[in-house]
Amino acid sequence: MGNRIQILPSNKIDADKWNNCIEKSGNSLIYADYSFLTNQCDHWSGLIINDYQTILPLPWRRKWGIKYLYAPEFIQQLGFFGDLSNINFPEILKSIFKFAKFGDLFFNYQNREILNQIEYEEKTNYILNLENSYPKIFSNYTNELIKNLQKSQKHKLIYEVDFKIEDSIHQFYLQYQNRFKKYENSTFQNLSNTCLELSERNKCITRYVYSETTNEVLSMALLLKDEKRLYLLLNSTNSIGRSFAANHFLLDKIIQEFSEEALILDFEGSERKGIKEFYESFQPKYQPFFHYRFNKLPFLINWGRKIASR
């Protein structure tokens, strides 16, 4: 007898069973937490195999009256969680294509073997094991990073905890607002609400660096935290902070603080050359995730979409 596959709207999902599947999964990620998805997605449904044996979140929207899958802001990767053995991927794809006619799915780092029948794009992510002692982690830093840390020591930088979440998000937005022109006005407010809720569960923390001389905040990081990972969700540095290597100093201090804990620092990756090189200077492990784009729209509707987008 085959596995039972169903797709349920989020309000019909058993949140406890859903989260229990995530928590027991060897590849659990905070992005798939029921409340995180509910707060961050316009709409989402869940593909569920048997009694929450395996799950797949499906964030969706509508355009021209057609349902499509999309990548919600600040959710890097989702994909399959739970029991990853004996997944009948062709059957699951049939269910997905009935549910949504086109869109994007970002499968997590442990889903590669499941995806052998489709074409996908490998996306960059880096992780650093924090279980080791700080001196051992430091010994792997590149010479360029060590030079920048030496540079930062000359500027009387102070590392602090608990920068206000709303201020962290606002500072990030001001620093990089040109990258977010396509975002809705509610995007960062939703993120703020999500992070405030997570902070009450000790799942969101902030760290920052300021100048002892001027008291100016130079660099900040907002991180999500679960039982396995610290996720570098937001990270911003102003122009003075960049000249002082304040972000190098900040991340090094975060690594010091959490070293020898059973955690992974998830840099959340980037395809931007400068950011990739910065993360690579900490000598992290490359742990990619996977982007799958599909389009099952009839020809005439596809043609109409192209005309409308001109």
**Residue 150 shares a structural domain with residue 69:** no
CATH of the domain at 201: 3.40.630.30
Give the whole-angstrom CA distance, residue 192 versus residue 167. Answer: 10
> What is the chain's pLDDT, residue by residue, as a tens digit (310 residues)?
468 999 999 999 999 999 999 999 999 999 999 999 999 999 999 999 999 999 999 999 998 889 999 999 999 999 999 999 989 999 999 999 999 999 999 999 999 999 988 999 999 999 999 999 999 999 999 999 999 999 999 999 999 998 899 999 988 888 887 777 666 667 888 899 999 999 999 999 999 999 999 999 999 999 999 999 999 999 999 999 999 999 999 999 999 999 999 999 999 988 889 999 999 999 999 999 999 999 999 854 554 444 334 3
| Residue 248 structural domain | 126-286
**Residue 88 shares a structural domain with residue 205:** no
Give the whole-angstrom CA distance, residue 186 versus residue 195. Answer: 14
**Residue 23 shares a structural domain with residue 169:** no
Q: Give the CA distances from residue 83 to residues 95, 111, 225, in Å, rounded to whole numbers and listed in that order.
A: 18, 11, 23
Give the whole-angstrom CA distance, residue 37 versus residue 71. Answer: 11
**Residue 54 shares a structural domain with residue 163:** no
Taking the whole predicted model, whether its pTM rises above 0.85 is answered as yes
**Residue 174 shares a structural domain with residue 54:** no
| Strands annotated E in the chain | 5-9, 43-49, 54-63, 66-69, 81-82, 102-107, 121-123, 126-129, 157-161, 204-211, 217-225, 229-237, 264-266, 285-286, 289-295
In terms of DSSP bridges, do strands 264-266 and 229-237 run parallel, antiparallel, or are they unpaired?
parallel
Q: What is the pLDDT of residue 306?
A: 47
CB-side neighbour CA atoms (13 Å) of 216: 11
Q: Which two tokens stand for residue 190?
A: 């939703």
Give the whole-angstrom CA distance, residue 113 versus residue 89. Answer: 10
Q: What is the pLDDT of residue 299?
A: 58
**Closest Cα to residue 78, out of 98, 60, 56?**
56
**Residue 107 shares a structural domain with residue 180:** no
Q: What is the pLDDT of residue 146?
A: 98
Burial of 212 (0-12, 13-18, 19+ CB in 10 A): exposed
In terms of DSSP bridges, do strands 66-69 and 102-107 run parallel, antiparallel, or are they unpaired?
parallel
**Residue 152 shares a structural domain with residue 242:** yes
**Residue 150 shares a structural domain with residue 169:** yes
**Residue 144 shares a structural domain with residue 70:** no
Helices and strands counted in the chain (H then E): 11, 15
Q: Is the Cα dihedral 187, 188, 189, 195 positive or negative?
A: positive
**Residue 295 shares a structural domain with residue 250:** no
Q: How many structural domains comprise the chain?
A: 2
Q: Is 45 helix (H, G, I), strand (E, B) or coil?
A: strand
**Residue 117 shares a structural domain with residue 143:** no
Element (H, E) at 98: helix 89-99
Q: What is the pLDDT of residue 258?
A: 98
**Residue 132 shares a structural domain with residue 257:** yes
